[in-house]
């Protein structure tokens, strides 16, 4: 299909990009890797008058340390995230989950910022950002603001970004002392998750001291499995983990679609949480 006609601009700085978005009101769309936006344009599900291509803004690329945080530019590609030594060292869960996103061609074009801004609950990285307690740094006409991941994902395919705002970078607290695993259930290799579970575990004296669980595709937004997180505190072996994982679907509202019923997704959330926590905690 051929997309509808649109104006196109390719700014070279964040300020220029924000001005272009502000001038267009809510008639503009940011273009990052294009892996989600281009299909929407071609299917004529999006009709922007202006496309703002942020692919030539150097500030939006790369990974750096900033004290206790890792800072990843929004235009950093999935491929770069998977192979970056700082990400692997301080946010290994993100590298592991990103390696399961689609296929190499998509991972070379698609970006971390694009995946988060797209706010697809079936995307792997929003749930990972929630589990990692990531923060989003956003630029708009009034300057920059930072918001936690739990406030960023508002509804199905809807983030907290205003039409004239750009996601600039993602800040992730360094996960020293945490082990992790991303468990993804998909029907076909290199495809979307039917359900995914992102687990971070901190152990103390053989027990789980603290766990953080992010759920992919268990509602209109990515979710934290808070009931399971609480139940996991103090778990000392596989049986205790299995009992706690039984709470993983509490508070979720998974969708019915061609891949799975809500009940099947709830079952998957419990099973995958148990597997993810046991693997993360080295207790399997």
Ligand X SMILES: Cc1cc2nc3c(=O)[nH]c(=O)nc-3n(C[C@H](O)[C@H](O)[C@H](O)COP(=O)(O)OP(=O)(O)OC[C@H]3O[C@@H](n4cnc5c(N)ncnc54)[C@H](O)[C@@H]3O)c2cc1C
Helix orientation angle between 238-245 and 262-280, rounded to the nearest 10 degrees: 150
Specify the 3-state DSSP secondary structure of 245: helix
Candidates 65-73, 88-96, 161-169, 218-226: pick the segment binding ligand X (CB under 6 A).
161-169
Q: Please enumerate in sequence order all residues whose Cβ is within 8 A of that of 259, keeping only pairs 6 or more positions apart, or say none.
A: 187, 194
Per CB under 6 A, the list member of 9, 35, 252, 273 interacting with ligand X is 35
* Nearest-10 Cα torsion for 33, 39, 45, 46: 30
- Taking the complex as a whole, the smallest distance from the CB of residue 19 to ligand X amounts, in Å, to 14
Site for ligand X in 163-182 (CB under 6 A): 166-167
Least Cα distance to 277 among 63, 93, 151, 37 occurs for 93
Binding mask 73-112 for ligand X (x = CB under 6 A): -x--------------------------xx---x---xx-
Per CB under 6 A, does 191 bind ligand X?
A: yes
Residues in 135-154 that interact with ligand X by CB under 6 A: none
Determine if 37 is a binding residue for ligand X (CB under 6 A). Answer: yes
Q: How many CB atoms lie within 10 A of CB 156?
A: 13
Both tokens assigned to 89: 């060292």
Report, in Å, the least distance between residue 232 CB and ligand X.
25
Under the binding rule (CB under 6 A), the answer on residue 17 touching ligand X is no
Using rule CB under 6 A, residue 197 touches ligand X? no
Backbone angles phi, psi at 225, to 5 degrees: -85, 75
Which one among 41, 117, 132, 241 touches ligand X, defined by CB under 6 A?
Answer: 117
Name the residue nearer to ligand X (CB basis): 191 or 242.
191
Q: How far is the CB of 186 from ligand X (least distance, A)?
A: 7
With respect to ligand X, which residue has the nearer C-beta, 164 or 266? 164
Q: How many CA atoms lie within 13 A of 162 on its CB side?
A: 16
Q: What is the Cα–Cα distance from 152 to 141, expressed in whole angstroms?
A: 18
Decide if residue 31 touches ligand X (CB under 6 A): yes
């Amino acid at each position: 299909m051929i997309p509808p006609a649109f104006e196109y601009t390719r700014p070279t700085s964040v300020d220029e990009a924000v001005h272009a978005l502000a001038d267009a009101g809510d008639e503009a769309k940011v273009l990052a890797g294009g892996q989600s936006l281009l299909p929407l344009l071609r299917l004529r599900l999006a009709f922007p008058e202006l496309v703002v291509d942020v692919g030539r803004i150097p500030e939006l690329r790369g990974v750096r340390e900033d004290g206790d945080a890792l800072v990843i530019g929004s235009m950093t590609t999935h491929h770069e995230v998977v192979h970056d030594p700082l990400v692997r060292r301080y946010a290994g869960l993100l590298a592991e989950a990103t390696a399961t996103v689609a296929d190499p061609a998509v991972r070379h074009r698609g970006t971390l910022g694009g995946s988060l801004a797209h706010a697809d609950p079936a995307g792997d990285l929003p749930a990972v950002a929630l589990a990692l307690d990531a923060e989003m740094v956003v630029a708009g006409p009034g300057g920059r603001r930072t918001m936690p991941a739990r406030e960023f994902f508002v509804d199905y395919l809807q983030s907290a970004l205003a039409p004239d705002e750009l996601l600039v970078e993602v800040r992730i607290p360094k996960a020293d002392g945490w082990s992790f695993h991303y468990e993804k259930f998909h029907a076909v290799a290199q495809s979307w998750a039917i359900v995914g579970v992102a687990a971070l575990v901190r152990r103390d004296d053989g027990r789980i001291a603290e766990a953080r669980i992010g759920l992919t595709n268990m509602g209109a937004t990515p979710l934290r499995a808070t009931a399971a997180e609480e139940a996991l505190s103090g778990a000392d072996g596989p049986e205790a983990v299995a009992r706690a994982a039984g709470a993983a679907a509490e508070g979720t509202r998974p969708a019915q679609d061609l891949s799975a019923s809500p009940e099947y997704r709830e079952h998957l959330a419990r099973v995958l949480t148990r597997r993810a926590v046991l693997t993360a905690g080295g207790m399997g």
